[in-house]
Amino acid sequence: MTAKPEMDRRSFLKASLAAGGALVVGMNIPLVTRAEERLGIKPPEPAADFQPNAFIKIAKDGKVTVVVGQVEMGQGVLTSLPMIVADELEVDWANVSYESAPADKAFINPQMGMQGTGGSSSVKAFFMPLRKSAAAVREMLVAAAAQQLGAPVGELKAANGEVVHTASSRKVKYGDLLEAAAKITPPAEPKLKDPKDFRYIGKGIKRLDTPDKVIGKAVFGLDVKVPGMLYATILRSPVIGGKVKSVDDAAAKAIKGVTNIVPLGYGVAVVAENYYAARRGRTALKVTWDDGPMATVSSETLYAKFADGANKEKGLEAGKKGDVEAAKTKAAKTVEAVYWAPYLAHTCMEPMNFTADVRADGAEVWGGIQAQMQVQETVAKIAGVPVEKVKVNTTMLGGGFGRRFELDYVVDATNVSKAVGKPVKVVWTREDDVQNDFYRPAAYNKMSAGLDASGNPVFWHHRIATDSIMTRFGWVQPGKVDGSSVEGAADLPYDFPNFQCDWINTNSGVPVGFWRSVGSSHTAFSTECFLDEVAAAAGKDPVAFRLAMLGNHPRHAGVVKLAAEKANWGKPSAGTFQGIAVHESFGSWVAQVAEVSVAKDGQVKVHRVVCAVDCGQVVNPDTVAAQMEGAIVYGLSAALYGEITVKDGKIVQKNFNDYKALRISEMPKVEVYIVPSNEKHGGVGEPGTPPIAPAVVNAIFAATGKRVRSLPIKPADLAAKA
């Protein structure tokens, strides 16, 4: 995805006003959760008396609703983005709420060029647009107050939802200025607050969405209920890319409650009056499959394909400095290794699901999605209706991690609803979810580095063989380097006088997609573990070795120093050993020190993780800390257990019994330290994941003297010999 210029504020200012000078824009989403249905809870009507732009609504009672175009998948945007508005608008936080936006170009993410939530970009992308929007509204309200009070604008000040005339102490509430403010042209360049006057930005504030989640009021995709809705499950080919050859659906149709059987080519949908009947009907189906070319593929053949690519193909040059080949002949000592990172599933806590109501005159859809406008366009194409006739209702996401950028589950529901002529909710089982994912690409890393006689670095050569996500989407043309595959490796921060990174695009046939931190999830593992190997070969301390080569990268060095200091580097707790790793991704720098013990049977326990993060200016430090903690859990689960394997074209893993996640009892103590900064915003949803695996692996070496070069970590390889 190429970066786009910051969106023009005028592109989302609304010009039309309803009678009486108040713009009334509402969004009626017929969603009822189980708790709401049981308790008789009715969602409050959103503030809509005055909506001067796409992001802000103000009611006559002074309540402010921030319309959030980004989706909430646990990362806190429904709090962080309203905080920005509240600060610049000068309103009491107690009077601020949120509303999810529809699919609309007004909410295009300027860093992605589409209305999408991902790449840890929400705050980075919308900090200034939201500040400018709120400042413009504030100035409109102040101008309206000047008219009402008969006082110069320069003598007025906005504070706590009021405009105050400082000389006379007269004041007027925002709610009493709405009609007059609606007649004022929004200023093109509103004056922004001085950051030293921020009331909310930079402060820890409790999340607005938490209470609704606690009482079960929050609406997730699985909570959606639409009048007349049917349920569907889909039987898919067990072989990657397989197609339906023939269907015997007699037994399925005989199941009570089953209403329709819908062939989809890639699978067969069973539609029923309830989910239980749909599941029973799916079990009763008899389908003959055309397995296709992937039926002969296994993990072993895939590994060989990647290895052949890295060892035999020239590849594309992703980064270069100096002359590596010449330097190889002069090195006094050469270190070589191969690092392997496997395919990984997303395993969002809420499996994929989507609800669609396709009609002749339009369509309405509901679900957890990461790209509203792409969903709208996809539904419109399948339904055969104009895009503007598709209404997209975005629910909370029970985990995204890049998985809900994909549209397969949207396509499911839309196709089935169109076929049966009724609203349909498609629900995936956990097994469906694990075995039909767009996986984190596997990566084969051929590494070599050289040192001179004094242990100083001479060269670094990294060859990466992996699938390309961006090529699959058409965002990178064949023959060009997919930057997401080599990020963190092609721009290695360490000062090797001779450096080269090559990329070999290996089309494995396994479907791949964005996974939390994308390419950095595997490049940090290979680069930071191999750097530790080079440090050991040089006879130098891992922290000192890093710092000596980070002179041109002060923010890398800053988090390394902070993490090492807070972890008391070199003096771990009794019985534990330390490892460190640092990585920059999505505009943020993160270093982590892991304290680890390894039992005689090879079982690894991570006791403590010290995390230092430099993400530039912080909106909500509580969110930063929570995202680092969550990213560490996610990355640690992958490091200890995560591996998707293939046999005869079929995904072997099915559920959490064989694709494990970290248990509560395994959770280490996590300490997060944020570097104070006024630099531009970095992301926080993803950058905490890349360093955890190499930090743990490096600690394992300190504990056992054994190198882990293939994930997940296997206790059998670490067990003490009898």
Q: Taking the CB of residue 4, how many other CB atoms lie within 10 A of it?
A: 14
Residue 34 pLDDT exceeds 60: no
pLDDT at 312: 96
| Side chain identity at residue 479, one-letter code | G
Tell me the C-alpha distance between 355 and 417, whole Å: 9
Tell me the C-alpha distance between 53 and 68, whole Å: 12
pLDDT at 367: 97
- The first and second tokens of residue 271, run together, are 């539609």
> Is 299-343+439-718 in the same CATH topology as 9-199?
yes
Segment 388-391 long-range contacts (CB within 8 Å, at least 24 positions apart): 389/361, 389/362, 389/363, 390/103, 390/362, 390/363, 390/364, 390/365, 391/102, 391/362, 391/363, 391/364, 391/365
Please answer whether residues 555 and 577 qualify as being in contact, where contact means their C-beta atoms are separated by less than 8 angstroms.
no
Tell me the C-alpha distance between 340 and 300, whole Å: 13
Domain 221-292+352-427: assigned CATH number: 3.30.365.10
From 40-44, 530-534, 601-605, the region with the lowest mean pLDDT: 40-44
CA-based R_g, the chain, Å = 28
pLDDT at 255: 98
Please answer whether residues 119 and 8 qualify as being in contact, where contact means their C-beta atoms are separated by less than 8 angstroms.
no
pLDDT at 35: 38
Confidence label for 722 from pLDDT (cuts 50, 70 and 90): low
Tell me the C-alpha distance between 629 and 607, whole Å: 14
Q: Note the pLDDT tens digit of each residue in 155-207.
A: 999 999 999 998 999 999 999 999 999 999 999 999 999 999 999 999 999 99
Tell me the C-alpha distance between 263 and 240, whole Å: 18
Q: Note the pLDDT tens digit of each residue in 483-535.
A: 999 999 999 999 999 999 999 999 999 999 999 999 999 999 999 999 999 99
- The first and second tokens of residue 324, run together, are 């590596």
pLDDT at 721: 80
Residue 173 Cα to chain centre, angstroms: 39
* Cβ-based burial of 129 (10 A; exposed 0-12, middle 13-18, buried ≥19): buried
Confidence label for 7 from pLDDT (cuts 50, 70 and 90): very low
- The first and second tokens of residue 405, run together, are 């950028």
Confidence label for 537 from pLDDT (cuts 50, 70 and 90): very high
Residue 218 has, within 13 A of its CA and on its CB side, a CA count of 20
Q: Note the pLDDT tens digit of each residue in 304-319.
A: 999 999 999 999 999 9
Q: Are strands 170-173 and 230-236 parallel, antiparallel or unpaired?
A: unpaired
Q: Note the pLDDT tens digit of each residue in 265-282.
A: 999 999 999 999 999 999
pLDDT at 48: 56
Q: Which residues pair with 521 in a beta bridge?
A: none
Mean pLDDT of 585-591: 97
Query: Nearest Cα to 623, choosing from 169, 84, 3?
Result: 84
Query: Nearest Cα to 508, choosing from 467, 550, 568, 540?
Result: 467
Q: Taking the CB of residue 139, how many other CB atoms lie within 10 A of it?
A: 19
Residue 12 Cα to chain centre, angstroms: 25
Please, which residues have CB within 8 angstroms of residue 9's CB and are 6 or more apart in sequence?
53, 129, 132, 133, 136, 188
Please answer whether residues 717 and 531 qualify as being in contact, where contact means their C-beta atoms are separated by less than 8 angstroms.
no
Tell me the C-alpha distance between 657 and 369, whole Å: 27
Helices (H), ranges, 436-550: 469-473, 483-486, 520-538, 542-548
* Cβ-based burial of 454 (10 A; exposed 0-12, middle 13-18, buried ≥19): exposed
CA distances from 229 to 145, 224, 689 (A): 50, 10, 39
Q: What share of the chain is helix, strand, coil (3-state, %, to 5)?
A: 35, 25, 40
pLDDT at 49: 82
Query: Nearest Cα to 356, choosing from 381, 406, 386, 393?
Result: 393
Question: What fold characterizes domain 9-199?
Answer: Aldehyde Oxidoreductase; domain 4 (3.30.365)
Confidence label for 33 from pLDDT (cuts 50, 70 and 90): very low
Residue written as tokens 């405009």? 163
Q: Note the pLDDT tens digit of each residue in 218-255.
A: 999 999 999 999 999 999 999 999 999 999 999 999 99
CA distances from 305 to 68, 75, 336 (A): 45, 37, 20
Helices (H), ranges, 539-690: 542-548, 554-566, 621-640
**Higher confidence at residue 683 or residue 40?**
683
Domain at 299-343+439-718: CATH architecture = 2-Layer Sandwich (3.30)
User: Would you kindly state where each structural domain of the chain is located, as residue ranges?
Assistant: 9-199, 221-292+352-427, 299-343+439-718
Please, which residues have CB within 8 angstroms of residue 623's CB and are 6 or more apart in sequence?
75, 76, 79, 80, 207, 684
Query: Nearest Cα to 464, choosing from 352, 636, 335, 339?
Result: 339
Please answer whether residues 652 and 646 qualify as being in contact, where contact means their C-beta atoms are separated by less than 8 angstroms.
yes
Residue 23 pLDDT exceeds 80: no
pLDDT at 39: 32
Eight-class DSSP state of 679? S
Mean pLDDT of all residues belonging to the chain: 92
Query: Nearest Cα to 404, choosing from 7, 61, 72, 15?
Result: 72
Eight-class DSSP state of 33? -
What three-state secondary structure class fits 630?
Answer: helix
Tell me the C-alpha distance between 355 and 78, whole Å: 23
Q: What φ, ψ does residue 97 adopt, rounded to 5°?
A: -135, 180
| Side chain identity at residue 458, one-letter code | V
What is the enclosing helix (H) or strand (E) of 320?
strand 316-321
Residue 20 pLDDT exceeds 70: no
Residue written as tokens 């923010």? 555
Residue 583 Cα to chain centre, angstroms: 17
Mean pLDDT of 404-421: 97
